[in-house]
Each structure stands twice: as structure tokens, then as C-alpha cells.
Structure 1
Amino acid sequence: MIWLLRHGDAHDPEPGQSDAERPLTEKGERQARAAGVALARLGVEIDCCLASPRVRARETARLACEALGVEVEIEPVLQGGRFEPEALAAGRGSQVLLVGHEPDFSRAVRELTGAVAQMKKGGLAGCDPGLLHVLLRPAELRAIAGA
């Protein structure tokens, strides 16, 4: 199963700050923690987490993975643009979490499953090739997490 977690809410760029350097807001931090706790409460055992090198995605991955007991690996392919989720997940276990950006993640859901979805900031999708198992918005993840 491939899990796709869109980064949480991020600050607007400061003058002179690049888009890649934007950190999470407090709301984004809560979204990231809730995603990790929700996955843990659902009994999902993540084998590997790959995250975009952009600050907001790295922070989302780190905070989500605290509840999952998983180390985060940085994957430059996830920083923006089309990627192949199956190729990234290959050989990394049966439950792989990818953390990144839009519109790339909605496109990945469509390419994996055929489903048309729009990933919200802090949203999560669980996919297998040909099947969308679950699409959860941040509010649903908060409810599962009990936050």
C-alpha cells in the first residue's frame, strides 16, 4: 500500500525566502501530528517514509512519523513534478508513506487508481495500483486521532 500525505499548512514566504524554505504553521504542525496519530490508531504499520526535501514536507513527515516510530528519508524526486509512486515504493516494504506536494499527489492518486481526487493540505490517501482504499481530509484525520 502506498500512502500519500500532502504537507500541512505552511507560512507564506518571507521577503528573500524561497518557496522551498517555507516552514509549517502551527496549524500545519497539528495536521502533521494528527495524520501520524490517525495512521497509528488505524493500525497502519509504515515500513518506510520518503519526503520531499522542501522544509514544509520534511517537517510534516518528521511530525507524522513521531507517532509511527519511523525514520524519514529525504527523496528529491518528491520536491515537485511528476513521479512514479510504485517505483519509489518498490522494495521498501508493504506500507510506504510518501510526503510531498500538489498537484503531484492528486496526479499520483489518479495514475495509481484512476480516481480523481484533490489532496487537501494535510490530507492523506491510501492506494494500491488500481484501488483507492481511503482518502482522508485533515478534519477526518483529527477526528480519528482524537485531536
Structure 2
Amino acid sequence: MIWLLRHAEAAEGAPDSERPLTEKGERQSKVAGAALARLGVKIDLCLASPKVRAADTARLACAPLGVEPQLEPKLSGGPFDAEALAAGHDQVLLVGHDPDFSMAVHKLTGAQVRLKKGGLAGVQRGELLVLLRPRELEAIAG
């Protein structure tokens, strides 16, 4: 399964690559990881955009999953091949940006989605199996 997590809420400002998460964004990130853990998801690999807001989202989300995120420049902006990045792993969490992640879901499944900040999609064998907004992740996390 390929999990795509859009970075959580970030502060405005420049430079774009250095924008940190807000307090709300930190909570959203922790909740995403807690929800995945509660669902029993065992992430084999976490790849994140090197932009601060995505790297921090990955770090906070992966903590309860026991996985150390790796920075992946291909997720920093523009189209990317999610299947190639996930090759050789069962459960991969990718953390990055929109519209790139919504377009990746479309490329993988044909589904038209718009991931909210802190939103999560789960795709397996060309099918969109999971699409959760931050408030739904919060309900799952408990």
C-alpha cells in the first residue's frame, strides 16, 4: 500500500522551503501517525520532501510508527512516480505537497481528489482504498 500524507498546516512566509509547521500542524502530524498506528499499519519506509513543513510532518507522524523518515528530493515539488519510490516495500508513507499528491492519486487510480493539509490517502494496486481528512484522522486516533 502506498500512503500519501500531505504536509500539515504551515506558517506563511518565505523562503517557501523553510516554512515551519504551526502548532495546529504539529497536532495534525502527530494525529496522522497515531491514526495509522491505531489502524495497525506497519510502515516499512517513510519518504518525505526535504522542505521543512513536510520533513517535520513526517518526523512527527512516523514517531508512533517506529520509522525514521528519509528525505526524498523527488517529493519536493512537481510530478513524481509513487510506484517507483515505493518499489520493494509493502507499506510506504510518502509525505509531501499538493497539488502533486492529489495528482499522484489521480495517476495511480484515476480518482479526482484534493488532499487537505494533513490529509491522507491510501492506494493499493490502482485502487483508492483510504481517503481521510484531518478531522477523520483525529477521530480514529482517539
Give the 3-state SS of the residue equivalent to 2:80 in structure 1.
Answer: coil
Aligned-partner Cα distance in 1 for 2:36–2:124: 16
Match of 1:113 in 2: 109
Match of 1:50 in 2: 47
Q: Which runs of 5+ in 2 are unaligned?
A: none
Give the 3-state SS of the residue equivalent to 2:123 in structure 1.
Answer: strand
Give the 3-state SS of the residue equivalent to 2:46 in structure 1.
Answer: strand
**Superposed CA offset, 1:112-134 (max 9, x none):** 01111000000000002320001
Aligned-partner Cα distance in 1 for 2:47–2:38: 21
- TM-fit CA distance, 1:32: 0.3
Is 1:6 the equivalent of 2:6? yes
Correspondence for 1:135 among 111, 118, 131: 131
Correspondence for 1:100 among 50, 72, 96: 96
What CA RMSD, in Å, does the superposition of the two structures yield over aligned residues?
A: 0.6
List structure 1 segments (4+ residues) > 4 angstroms apart after TM superposition.
none
Aligned-partner Cα distance in 1 for 2:59–2:126: 29
- Count of aligned residue pairs for this structure pair: 142
Percent identity of paired positions between Structure 1 and Structure 2 = 69
Q: Which runs of 5+ in 1 are unaligned?
A: none
TM value normalised by structure 2: 0.99
- Matched AA of 2:38: R
Aligned-partner Cα distance in 1 for 2:31–2:3: 15
Aligned-partner Cα distance in 2 for 1:47–1:130: 20
**Superposed CA offset, 1:89-111 (max 9, x none):** 012x2000000000000000001
Is 1:124 the equivalent of 2:132? no
**Superposed CA offset, 1:64-92 (max 9, x none):** 0011000110000000000000000012x
